Amino acid sequence: MEEQSPHQQVLDLVKAKSMHKRDVFELLQSRFQTFKEVLKELTEEFKTEVAAIDPRLEVAYKDLGAFYCQLTIAGDVLLFSMHTNVFRFPNNSVYWRSSYLQEDKQRGYVGIIQIHNFLADSFRYHREQDLGYLIGRLFINSEDHYFLEGKKELGYKYNDFVNAVIDRDKMKEILCSIITYTIKFDLYIPAYSEVQEVTLREVNRMKDNVNLRTGKRLGFQFQWEDTTSDD
C-alpha cells in the first residue's frame, strides 16, 4: 500500500475532523437559536403566572447576541452561553465504552451550552465583583444526542447520551428543571471571617452602591461535591 504524502494527510484530516467539527458547530448554532426561542416562550408564560402570584417579582428574557441569552426570574439571573469551540470527550470518558461511540468515533465530538447562575441584584446594582456559578453544561453532538452535566438532579436526570435526542419539548423540560433548581439554590450567609475587614475605599463605594461581594455559595463544588448535602 502506497504511503500517503504529508500533503494528502493534511487534506484527509481536514475532511475527517475539521469538516465534522464545523458540522457540529453549525448544528449547535441552530439548536441554540431554538433554545432561545423556547426560553423566550417560557418567559412569556411565567411572566403572566408569576405576576398573578406577586407582581413585585421580575420575569424577563434578554437576547444578548448570537452566543448568549439571559433569563431573570425573581431574585435570580440565568446566563446561557454557547461555546464557540467543539470538544471531544476525554479518553477516559465512560461514553467511549458504549457501542454508540465505538461504531462511529465522530459521535464523540460535542458542542456545549453553559448555564451560569447569578443573583439578580448583581446586575441591578452593577456589582461586578459578585460571583456566578456554573450549574450545568448541555452537550450536543452531530446527531442531536445530548446529556446535561450539572448539580444534583440536573446531573442524573438527563445523562442518557447514547439514547437521548434533543428537541423543543425536551429543551422546555430541561429549562424548567434548571429554573426549578436555581430557585431552590439558596443564598448562604458568608462566613464572618470573610467579611469582617473592609477598606475605606470600599466604604466610600458603598455610599453609592451595596458593594459587599455576594454569591449563592462560597467554596462552591461541582461534579465532586458532597452528595450528602440537601442543596
pTM: 0.82
User: Which DSSP state fits 125?
Assistant: T
> How high is the pLDDT of residue 129?
78
Per-position b or e across 41-67, b if 16+ CB within 10 A of its CB: ebbeebbeebeeeeeeebbebeeeeee
Residue 23 contacts by C-beta under 8 Å, 6 or more apart in sequence?
142
State the cell numbers at 170: 425536551
Give the H/E segment covering residue 46.
helix 19-53
Closest CA to 73 of 92, 94, 56, 97: 56
What stretches in the chain show pLDDT beneath 50?
Answer: 210-211, 218-231
Give pLDDT tens digits for 76-127: 999 999 999 999 999 999 999 999 999 999 999 999 999 999 999 988 888 8
Q: According to the model, what pLDDT value does residue 68 have?
A: 97
Q: How far apart are CA 131 and CA 133, in angstroms?
A: 7
Q: What is the C-alpha separation between 38 and 41, in angstroms, rounded?
A: 5
Alpha carbons 174 and 80: distance in angstroms, whole number: 13
The Cα 206–Cα 72 span in angstroms is 24
Q: Which residues make Cβ contacts (< 8 Å) with residue 164, sequence separation at least 6?
A: 145, 146, 147, 158, 170
